[in-house]
Amino acid sequence: MILAFQYPGLAWLFLSIPALLMVYIFYSRKRFGTLRFSSLLMFEGISKTSGMWRKHILYTLRILAIMSIIIALMRPQERNALQEVNAEGIDIMMVIDISGSMRAMDFKPNRLEAVKRVAQAFVSQRKNDRIGLNVFARESFMQCPLTTDLNRLNEFIAGLEIVNEKFDGTAIGMAVAGAINRLRDSDAKSKVIVLLSDGRNNAGELDPITTSDLAKEFGIRIYTIGAGTRGTAAMPVQTVIGVRKVQVQVDIDEETLTKIADITGGHYFRATDEKSLAAIYQEISEMETTEYSVREYVQHAELFYYPLLVALFLLIIEFILERLVFRRFP
């Protein structure tokens, strides 16, 4: 609720008030004459200020009435602005590698934990989108279908763990196919897959390039991220004497990930640490913006009659006082 005036420019009329006061003071001094008395004994006991307020009260009421009329002329209004916001969200499937190589410690404390933190931050920014989660190693697993319950989705992300050796592997083609299956019937204007992996496709029955062609047919754009430093990275290995750190060669199939992105109109990114990974997710978030349409409605109620009634009341009081209470006799 906002108090506003339709004609605020009329406020300059208030500048006439000081002028009216000066005119009143000037003429009130000339209006009253002086009488000489040989003695003031007859006036003993009468206060010197007695009746002084009566001299000015009528004009004060008139000035207040004029000020109320000026306010009424400015047309005060009570305004309520209502906004109707329509957001056309995006459907996004996050596809995250949870194979054994995600234990690598080139991200702190390891790749998967760093990815989980960044992915949760990404999800928290997408308030108007539906987002789902698919994970993969040797096989693809649907963790969470497309949802607007982003808090629940972040709980799923927080609970991700690296698979045991029995299910280890990297089935990129199967992972993309699983995400496509969730997006193909979507009515969203924009459908996106964000695929993160740190290795090469070495498992599954589907070729990543073939599934990328399928994604293109369904109008799905794929952003791919290769996670891992360049060169070697420390990998924890269980031995008979405990866990040891072994340097292993980082082997990311950047060629395939780039082709997947190019075919579908997306983009390939390389993240070498958590900072660059966060910047990549932020860039993707900025590239995939949600469309908003805003309609604003303004409701207003006229309030000018309130100061007008005040002015009328003051003028009536002035009339009554002048005719009945402060009446002069010739």
DSSP-derived secondary structure letter, 42: G
In a domain, 42, yes or no: no
The pLDDT of residue 322 is: 79
Q: How large a percentage of the chain has pLDDT more than 90?
A: 58
**Local confidence band at 43 (pLDDT 50, 70, 90 cut-offs):** low
| Nearest alpha carbon to residue 192 among 220, 231, 219 | 220
Residues 270 and 138 in one domain: yes
Residues 188 and 253 in one domain: yes
The range of the structural domain enclosing residue 215 comes to 90-289
Residue 33 has φ and ψ, to the nearest 5°, of -95, -170
| Nearest alpha carbon to residue 252 among 264, 263, 260 | 260
Kindly state the tokens that stand for 217.
């047919």
Residue 166 has pLDDT above 60, yes or no: yes
Residues 118 and 241 in one domain: yes
The maximal CA–CA distance of the chain, rounded, in angstroms, is 129
pLDDT in tens, 104-133: 999 999 999 999 999 999 999 998 899 999
Residue 227 has pLDDT above 50, yes or no: yes
The pLDDT of residue 326 is: 67
Residue 104 has φ and ψ, to the nearest 5°, of -50, 140
Distance CA 312, CA 319 (A): 11
The pLDDT of residue 238 is: 82
CB atoms within 10 A of CB 165: 7
pLDDT in tens, 267-325: 999 999 999 999 999 999 988 876 656 566 677 788 888 989 999 999 998 888 877 77
Residues 234 and 318 in one domain: no
Tell me the average pLDDT of the chain.
Answer: 87
Asked if residues 302 and 74 have their Cβ atoms less than 8 Å apart, the reply is no
In a domain, 36, yes or no: no
The pLDDT of residue 165 is: 87
In a domain, 38, yes or no: no
DSSP-derived secondary structure letter, 238: E
Residues 75 and 95 in one domain: no
Distance CA 82, CA 86 (A): 13
pTM recorded for the entire structure: 0.65
Rounded to whole angstroms, what are the CA distances from 243 to 1, 20, 108, 112, 167?
A: 65, 94, 17, 18, 21
With b for 16 or more beta-carbon neighbours within 10 A and e for fewer, the 89-116 pattern comes to bbbbbbbbbbbbbbbbebbeebbbbbbb
Residues 185 and 321 in one domain: no
In a domain, 319, yes or no: yes
Distance CA 218, CA 101 (A): 31
Which residue's structure tokens are 């006799």?
329
The residues that bridge with 194 in the sheet, in sequence order, are 94, 223
Residue 150 has pLDDT above 90, yes or no: yes
Instruction: Choose between 83 and 58: higher pLDDT.
Output: 58
In a domain, 201, yes or no: yes
Residues 305 and 256 in one domain: no
Residues 201 and 269 in one domain: yes
Residues 255 and 317 in one domain: no
**Local confidence band at 188 (pLDDT 50, 70, 90 cut-offs):** confident
Residues 123 and 266 in one domain: yes
In a domain, 43, yes or no: no
We report the CATH number of the domain holding residue 236 as 3.40.50.410
Residues 273 and 318 in one domain: no
The pLDDT of residue 85 is: 60
232-239/130-136 β-pairing: unpaired
The pLDDT of residue 50 is: 47
The pLDDT of residue 39 is: 59
Average pLDDT over residues 82-108: 87
Residues 120 and 174 in one domain: yes
The pLDDT of residue 118 is: 97
pLDDT in tens, 51-69: 556 667 888 888 899 999 9
DSSP states of 209-231: HHHHHHHHHTTEEEEEEEES-SS
Total domain count, the chain: 2
- Indicate the range of 19-33, 168-182, 268-282, 303-317 predicted with least confidence: 19-33
